[in-house]
Amino acid sequence: SLFGGSDYKLIYRHYATLYFVFCVDSSESELGILDLIQVTSRGGFCAELPVPCPQVFVETLDKCFENVCELDLIFHMDKVHHILQEVVIGGMVLETNMNEIVAQVEAQSKL
């Protein structure tokens, strides 16, 4: 699941029918393409942290959506974005503590 490129690396993991592809770049971390099934997000964290990160992300999604499936991601894409904003900023990892992330997301949705 690791590809080496000249400027960037693609790291992907798939969980059942969901593919998470992270494009990682050590120098420039602005990328953004959202696709229906392949969620390529502005992810830029250290290239040798392959798998636990998506795992954290997926598990967070799980907690927020209660057993997330791809339909959830499609229909609630704005919510997915908001969750992602609590995990990653400008291409760097912000918070990896799942409980923390979930708490913040829920607090904001009450506003």
Q: Which is nearer to another protein, 63 or 82 (CB)?
A: 82
Q: Does 14 bind another protein (CB under 8 A)?
A: no
Among 5, 46, 69, 106, indicate the residue that binds another protein (CB under 8 A).
46
3-class SS letters over the chain: CEEECCCEEEEEEEECCEEEEEEEECCCCCCCCCCCCEEEECCCCCCCCCCHHHHHHHHHHHHHHCCCCHHHHHHCHHHHHHHHHHHEECCEECCCCHHHHHHHHHHHHHC
If the CB atoms of residues 16 and 111 are measured against another protein, the closer one turns out to be 111
40 contributes a contact to another protein by CB under 8 A: no
Query: Quick one: which of 17, 48, 66, 67 contacts another protein (CB under 8 A)?
Result: 48
